[in-house]
Amino acid sequence: MTVFACEPEWAALTKTLVPEATVRTATTHLQDPHHIEARPSLIAQLRGADFAICTGAELEAGWLPMLQDRAGNPKVQNGRPGMFYAAQHVDLIDPFKGTVTPFSGDVHAQGNPHFHTDPRRVMLVAKALAGRLGQLFPDKKTQVDQNLVKFEDELSRRIVVWEKQAAPLKGRTVITQHASFGYVWAWLGIKPIADLEPRPGVPPTASHLERVIALSKTQQPVAIVIAQHHDPKPGRWLAKSMDMERKLLILPATVSDEQPDSIIRWFDQLVAQLSSLAK
Ligand SMILES: [Zn+2]
């Protein structure tokens, strides 16, 4: 069973359910999944896949359709059971309200597609994925169902621990960059007060940063949180200007390896790092 995963979190989730699957991942935690080059190596990987798992909700709109077209693999075309979009199995927050133009940047017209940062949504995706894998690969169904139960048990137990650990952060404020961790804020009751990107995917201007500083003076953010694949310059500049250098968190936006326990380890680290700021 050869699987093509657009993002490492879905590669890891697939490995959780089918540890022996050969999984090729199109992106790493150091890349922005909005912007990937449709390289020949990716086309070849998609061509050889029995199954593909991607986020959907237009996250890969700039590159996946071209890969599907060039790979010419009927198993992973849209509408086929071998093409699984995680976004079809969860509700999305914060759909972009406005007219999308070529200058709008990486807007999320269908809602925020970075929902792998909410463990409850990951659980829903895991269930739907297990169902699909069981249908497509009946000989794996028993194993997939058993691994799903194990994952659900572990994740449910961890969610309780993480929520308790992050409880002191409830109602606190953060400055962010892009909506990469938008679901984390919603889940843990943290309030993002400003985004370093004035428009998604567009670098900040000096006047925008001045506004962020003004807002921070009244709202006292507990941290500036950016993802490792973001340009760290605006965040570093802001942290320095506000004397908050120790409160600049540069976090991986997703798992950095693709093992069956990667997703849980990633949440462990994320919650630990955020919680350390509340002290
Ligand atoms: Zn985005």
All domains of the chain in start order, with CATH: 2-155 (3.40.50.1980), 168-278 (3.40.50.1980)
Q: Pick left, alpha or beta for residue 22 (phi over 0 → left; psi -120 to 50 → alpha; otherwise beta).
A: beta
Ligand 1 centroid distance, CA of 28 (Å): 15
Ligand 1 centroid distance, CA of 171 (Å): 24
Ligand 1 centroid distance, CA of 59 (Å): 7
Query: Alpha helices, DSSP H only, in 2-104?
Result: 8-17, 40-47, 64-71
Q: Is 195 strand, coil or helix?
A: strand
d(CA 51, CA 48): 9
Ligand 1 centroid distance, CA of 232 (Å): 16
Q: For the segment 148-160, what is each residue's pLDDT rounded down to a tens digit?
A: 999 999 999 999 9
Q: What is the chain's mean pLDDT, rounded?
A: 94
Give me the mean pLDDT over the 231-247 stretch. Answer: 91
d(CA 197, CA 224): 13
Ligand 1 centroid distance, CA of 272 (Å): 24
Percent of the chain scored above 90 by pLDDT?
A: 85
Beta bridge partners of 249: 225
Ligand 1 centroid distance, CA of 35 (Å): 10
Ligand 1 centroid distance, CA of 134 (Å): 31
Ligand 1 centroid distance, CA of 20 (Å): 31
Ligand 1 centroid distance, CA of 140 (Å): 34
Ligand 1 centroid distance, CA of 146 (Å): 33
Ligand 1 centroid distance, CA of 141 (Å): 33
Say if residue 78's pLDDT is above 90: yes
* DSSP conformation letters of 98-160: S---TTS-S--TTS---GGGSHHHHHHHHHHHHHHHHHH-GGGHHHHHHHHHHHHHHHHHHHH
Ligand 1 centroid distance, CA of 27 (Å): 14
Q: Sign (positive/negative) of CA torsion 111, 201, 104, 193?
A: positive
d(CA 136, CA 139): 9
Ligand 1 centroid distance, CA of 178 (Å): 6
Q: For the segment 243-279, what is each residue's pLDDT rounded down to a tens digit?
A: 988 899 999 999 999 998 999 999 999 999 999 988 7
pTM: 0.95
Distances (CA, A) of 139 to 66, 75, 103, 142, 174: 32, 18, 48, 7, 47
Say if residue 200's pLDDT is above 90: no
